[in-house]
Structure formats: C-alpha cells, structure tokens
C-alpha cells in the first residue's frame, strides 16, 4: 500500500535554481509525483501552514522566510512515503544531515533548509489538502 507525503521546495532553493536537481533526486529514489505547483505563500497562508509552530522562538523568521518568494509544493507517493522521504531529506539542521541527503546537498542553514517533508501520515493528508484540491491530484 502506498502512502503520501507533502514536500515544499523552499524559497532559497527555488531562488538558487535547485528545483530540477531536487526533483531528480526525488524521482531517482522511487517517489511518484501525484500533484505539483509553483506558488507563493502569503504571510497569512504561511502562518496557517505552520500554525503548530506558533509561539516558538523561530516562528517569525520561519514565516518571513517561507513567504519571501515562490516555492514548489508537491504530493509524493511511495511505500512508507513519510519515513522514507524524511530519510532522503536528512536532519532538519543541515549540519546534522547525513552525506547525500537533500538538505546536506542544498540547505543553507537550519531555517533555510531547502525542503519540507511531512512528519506523520495524518499531517501529510492535512498538508496535501492545504495546497491541492481533488482535481489537482493524480
Ligand atoms: P520544516 O520541516 O519546514 O518545519 C518547520 C521549520 O522550522 C523547519 O523545517 C526549519 O526550517 C524551521 N526550524 C525548526 N527548528 C528551528 C530552529 N530551532 N531554529 C530555526 N528554524 C527552525
């Protein structure tokens, strides 16, 4: 049975033209793209997406960064998508991410860490429907 996860290629990685290489790694590792768009989160939408982090010391920086430019949002499908994608992207802090992971390769820092990946199956569903309606998912 295949699961889904939601990823965002964050503004820093989009700005540096890393969309192609990151999608290449995603494909090479067996994830199928079910939905994808280039979009720009407003401050309000970024606050909504990251509502669980409201009140944390890094929240304001996170919101201003995530609304600073276009992102790629995508739904990825694979067996154990959430767990396997988190392994593929590496630790949140790129200094702690393993060699060869997407964050090790492309992240600039803890807050500018190139990509997002859902942290549970429940959040993957919530995050997927945040960006996509049923007619946009294949
Ligand atoms: P992400 O997986 O998108 O989920 C929340 C984001 O907050 C995370 O990636 C990091 O970019 C950012 N983040 C998490 N912890 C910290 C922290 N201690 N300081 C700054 N940013 C953080």
Nearest partner of 64 among 14, 101, 11, 24, judged by Cα: 11
Instruction: For residue 77, report the distance from its CA to the centre of ligand 1, in Å.
Output: 23
Ligand 1 pocket test, pick from 51, 56, 58 with the greatest ligand atom count within 8 Å of Cβ, gives 58
Stretch 78-87: mean pLDDT, rounded?
98
pLDDT tens digit sequence for 23-71? 999 999 999 999 999 999 999 999 999 999 999 999 999 999 999 999 9
Instruction: For residue 50, report the distance from its CA to the centre of ligand 1, in Å.
Output: 10
pLDDT band at 77 (very low <50, low <70, confident <90, very high): very high
pLDDT band at 94 (very low <50, low <70, confident <90, very high): very high
pLDDT band at 2 (very low <50, low <70, confident <90, very high): confident
Domains in the chain: ranges and CATH? 3-136 (3.30.70.141)
pLDDT band at 1 (very low <50, low <70, confident <90, very high): confident
Q: Is the pLDDT of residue 98 over 80?
A: yes
Nearest CA to ligand 1 atom 13: 111
Stretch 73-93: mean pLDDT, rounded?
98
> What is the pLDDT at residue 7?
98
Instruction: For residue 49, report the distance from its CA to the centre of ligand 1, in Å.
Output: 13
């Amino acid at each position: 049975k295949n699961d889904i996860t939601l990823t965002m290629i964050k503004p820093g990685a989009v700005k540096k033209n890393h969309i192609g290489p990151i999608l290449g790694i995603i494909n090479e590792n067996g994830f199928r793209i079910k939905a994808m768009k280039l979009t720009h989160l407003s401050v309000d939408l970024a606050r909504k997406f990251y509502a669980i982090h409201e009140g944390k010391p890094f929240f304001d920086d996170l919101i201003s960064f995530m609304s600073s430019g276009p992102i790629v949002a995508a739904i990825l499908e694979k067996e154990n998508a959430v767990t396997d994608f988190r392994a593929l992207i590496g630790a949140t802090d790129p200094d702690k991410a393993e060699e060869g992971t997407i964050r090790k390769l492309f992240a600039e820092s803890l807050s500018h860490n190139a990509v997002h990946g859902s942290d549970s199956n429940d959040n993957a569903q919530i995050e997927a429907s945040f960006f996509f309606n049923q007619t946009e998912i294949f």
